[in-house]
Amino acid sequence: MTRPILTAAAMRDAEAAAPVDLATLMEQAGQSLAEAASRFAGSMPALVLCGPGNNGGDGYEAARFLVERGVAVRVAALAEPATDLARAAHNRWTGPIEAFDTAAPAPLLVDCLFGTGLKRGLEDAVSQRLCALAGEANLVVAADLPSGVEADSGAILSPVPAADLTVAFGALKPAHRLMPAMARTGRLVLADIGIAASTDWFELAEPVLPPIAADAHKYSRGLVHALAGTMPGAIALAASAAARSGAGYVRVSTGAPIAGLPLSIVQTGDAKLSDPRIGCILVGPGLGELPHFLTLALTSRAPKVIDADAIALVGDPERLRGQDAILTPHAGEFAKLFGDLPGTKAEQALAAAAHSGAVIVFKGPDTLVAAPDGRLGFAPPAPAWLASAGTGDVLSGIIAALRARGMPAFEAACAGVWRHGRAAERAGPSMIADDLVAAL
Ligand SMILES: NC(=O)C1=CN([C@@H]2O[C@H](COP(=O)(O)OP(=O)(O)OC[C@H]3O[C@@H](n4cnc5c(N)ncnc54)[C@H](O)[C@@H]3O)[C@@H](O)[C@H]2O)[C@H](O)CC1
Ligand SMILES: [K+]
């Protein structure tokens, strides 16, 4: 089940369109926060930090519900409530309210200072106090977002303590799945508070793969044709990953035999891209400066995955329009092909997809999958040990296989990114790309 992702503005629209009034939404948010916090921290004495806005309002509500759960709760306010909603929640809290600057630490810290309304970095004194209180706590729970994080970009506007748990209200925000904020959220719980979050933006989840028909044959299971270049090891990793990802037949055209390839992967001296049975062409891993291979791939009507060196050879993104292409750039390759696009990584990925007509897998510690029609998938956190040579080649092979198995381009890219991350988890921290193939 995918989790929806909304920007701060889209969130406000969804709240306004909700069938219940905002006070009820805030009460539901507070109740969800209290439930998640007490499930996570048990009856640890809690200090709830309330900011001036509605994030603070959530905090006053959560404090009330934590008391009902028998938790010893103290509330500290950064400032008087600045919204009617927060003021009403503040007034429903009947306990004492301490000053933020002098409140003593507690084992459980609940951060309700700022959420999607953060406009700028916190004042230094506020940021330092928040980090000090977090440092003294056993557990830190963030309401909606850790305070100091910018909801739409994932930027950290001032030092942010790492939350152990973040409770997102109504929908995830881009910051929950974009770096550097993603590394500060801890476990991420989505609280349903009664709003309809209909959106084309979502967090990737376990895909449903095409079934293998009882009467399948190697062509119907998908033929991937990979074009080797100057560094055969990379295309060998990609081709092996394609075979391990369920392609019925993987063929590598190469100028010289490639040692170490599984015998089931056919090596041929002839590119033969006119073969109508090709389910997906894969070009780029280890290609080197061989532009004619990219041109050859672009003359074929077959779906294609364009990765690594081939991305650098595209030149004009318009060349990809109508090509049924999936492009898999990392940040450097993205910037080189699309230039310095404005906006957040999410907006950049969508702009590139619209500009090129291709599905864009914008790789990184936070990988996004963008379709020209506006759909945007955000990958859940993947192990940092994926940052090693050859793992990108493996990803391109997985995606090519899923495309050849009949998944549409966007879905194949989303599924490939998700499976790549889970394979890395199985392979463990000492993995190299070869182990990643074995873990598929
Ligand atoms: N998702 C839902 O359905 C609901 C979400 N809710 C919560 O509301 C916040 C957003 O509330 P908002 O009032 O817009 O913003 P914040 O509470 O994040 O705070 C903004 C507040 O603080 C001022 N401010 C902004 N930056 C700074 C700064 N660096 N220093 C000082 N002051 C700052 C700004 O002017 C505002 O006054 C959302 O995250 C949820 O937690 C509601 O519960 C409704 C349901
Ligand atoms: K917060």
Specify the pLDDT at position 270: 87
Contact residues for 146 (Cβ-Cβ < 8 A; gap 6+): 111, 160, 161, 162, 163, 166, 181, 184, 185
Low-confidence ranges of the chain (pLDDT < 50): none
Nearest-CA residue for atom 25 of ligand 1: 118
pTM over 0.80: yes
pLDDT at 14: 94
Ligand with an atom nearest the CA of residue 143: 2
Task: Tell me the Cα Rg of the chain.
Answer: 25
Look up the ipTM and state it: 0.89
Q: Could you give the 3-state DSSP secondary structure of residue 79?
A: coil
Q: How many residues would you count in the chain? A: 440
CA of 131 to the centre of ligand 2 (A): 13
Give the tens place of pLDDT for each residue, 339-387.
Answer: 999 999 999 999 999 999 999 999 999 999 999 999 999 999 999 999 9
Report the separation in Å between the CA atom of 117 and the middle of ligand 2, taken as the mean of its atom positions. Answer: 10
- 61 CA → ligand 1 middle, Å: 14
Surface-to-core class of residue 373, CB atoms within 10 Å of its CB (0-12 exposed, 13-18 middle, 19+ buried): exposed
Using DSSP's 3-state secondary structure scheme, residue 390 falls into: coil
Closest-lying ligand 1 atom to the alpha carbon of residue 126: 30
Predicted local confidence at residue 48, as pLDDT = 98
Going by the DSSP 8-state scheme, the letter that residue 172 receives in this structure is B
- Measured in degrees and rounded to the nearest 5, phi and psi for residue 73 equal -115, 135
**Best of 21, 32, 50, 55 for a ligand 1 pocket test (most atoms within 8 Å of beta carbon):** 55
pLDDT score recorded for residue 215: 95
Quote the pLDDT of residue 224.
98
pLDDT at 180: 98
For ligand 1, say whether the CB of 30 is within 6 Å of any of its atoms: no
Number of H helices, E strands in the chain: 13, 18
The response to whether residue 146 sits with its C-beta less than 6 Å from ligand 1 reads no
**In the prediction, which pLDDT does 60 show?**
98
* Ligand 1 pocket mutation pick from 21, 31, 50, 119 by most atoms within 8 angstroms of CB: 119
pLDDT in tens, 176-208: 999 999 999 999 999 998 888 889 999 999 999
- Rounded distance, CA 97 to CA 74, Å? 7
